[in-house]
Amino acid sequence: MGRLDGKTALITGAGSGIGAACAELFSAEGANVFCADLDVGAARDVADRVTERGGSAAADAVDVTKRSQCEELVAGTVERFGGLHVLVNSAGVTPRKAPLDWDFEEKWDWVIDVNLKGSMLMSHAASEVMLPAGYGSIVNLASIIGLVGYSTGMSDGFNPYPHSKGGVVQMTRDMGVAFAKRGVRVNALCPGFTYTALTRSLTDDADMRVHLESLHPMGRLGEPIEIAYAALYLASDESSFVTASCLPVDGGYTAG
């Protein structure tokens, strides 16, 4: 018996990294999974892997900065699978991926729009289904850098990534408290540096990788599946008394 039997999970950023790991793990635990990503081809590849293993999956494109697309995605998930029980807000960007000719304000707007506004819009759309049903779990992907300042020399104080993830942390707490008596739980994961497409430009640099590893007391970086298992706990009924929490999954980074 799976830990998510009978549940439907909608996962943004499901085309790669932590989102893809969540989709495959949640399916293995019995969930229907709807994989959404701006790169719809990548999302479909993940959904295909799920169905090839006997799972139930669908995929579609989404730009989480667009309210109409978020609402349509939730409606499509409910239409396809008959309900929505879990939302994982894994879509995210870093200013390292921004066009080289953008100035600090353009990077700020883009990162805040995707990481913070996108999580808000998806959560708002999902809440329109979950709150009337009196059941649901929203799992936001924040970051250790939403809890502490950068100590890696990657911020001049205007890097929008820690600011966006700090906003996700506070949004999680506020939303979790607001929904607490209505059956919908809202929590966040705060991963340490993890091997994903967003960190590849850092981890491909041997000196930087060694430096990052030294910041984690466990002496290594995380793998997407390790974050996905924490998301599984928050998505499942095993965490039924957990809401408005922000869980570091960081190899000891924030305590070191």
Question: What is the per-residue pLDDT across 56-82, written as a single tens digit (0 to 9) for each?
Answer: 999 999 999 999 999 999 999 999 999
Residue 168, pLDDT above cutoff 90: yes
Residue range 201-207: mean pLDDT, rounded? 90
Output the pTM of the full model.
0.96
Looking at residue 31, what DSSP letter applies?
-
Structure confidence at residue 155 (pLDDT):
83
Between vectors from CA 1 to CA 235 and to CA 14, what angle results, nearest 5°?
40
> For all residues of the chain together, what is the average pLDDT?
96
Closest among 85, 90, 172, 171 to 130, alpha carbons compared:
85
Structure confidence at residue 91 (pLDDT):
98
pLDDT band of residue 154 (cuts 50, 70, 90) is: confident
Q: How many CB atoms lie within 10 A of CB 163?
A: 18
* Residue 212: inside a domain: no
* Residue 215: inside a domain: no
Residue 185 phi, psi (nearest 5) = -100, 145
* Residue 72: inside a domain: yes
Establish whether 150 is a catalytic residue.
no
* Residue 208: inside a domain: no
Closest among 221, 249, 224 to 152, alpha carbons compared:
221
Count of the separate structural domains present in the chain: 1
User: By the 8 A CB rule, do 215 and 224 touch?
Assistant: no
Q: How many CB atoms lie within 10 A of CB 53?
A: 11
Looking at residue 222, what DSSP letter applies?
B
pLDDT band of residue 152 (cuts 50, 70, 90) is: low
Looking at residue 220, what DSSP letter applies?
S
pLDDT band of residue 201 (cuts 50, 70, 90) is: confident
Residue 169, pLDDT above cutoff 70: yes
CATH number, domain containing residue 118: 3.40.50.720
Structure confidence at residue 49 (pLDDT):
98
Residue 90, pLDDT above cutoff 90: yes
Q: Which of 135, 150, 161, 229 is catalytic?
A: 161
Residue 241, pLDDT above cutoff 80: yes
* Residue 157: inside a domain: yes
pLDDT band of residue 40 (cuts 50, 70, 90) is: very high
* Residue 35: inside a domain: yes
Residue 149, pLDDT above cutoff 90: no
Give the residue numbers spanning the domain of 155.
Answer: 8-194+223-248
* Residue 3: inside a domain: no
Residue 129, pLDDT above cutoff 70: yes
Q: Is 180 helix (H, G, I), strand (E, B) or coil?
A: helix
Residue range 223-240: mean pLDDT, rounded? 98
Query: Exposed (0-12), middle (13-18) or buried (19+): which is 182, by Cβ within 10 Å?
Result: middle
pLDDT band of residue 119 (cuts 50, 70, 90) is: very high
* Residue 155: inside a domain: yes
State the residue for tokens 């070191």: 256
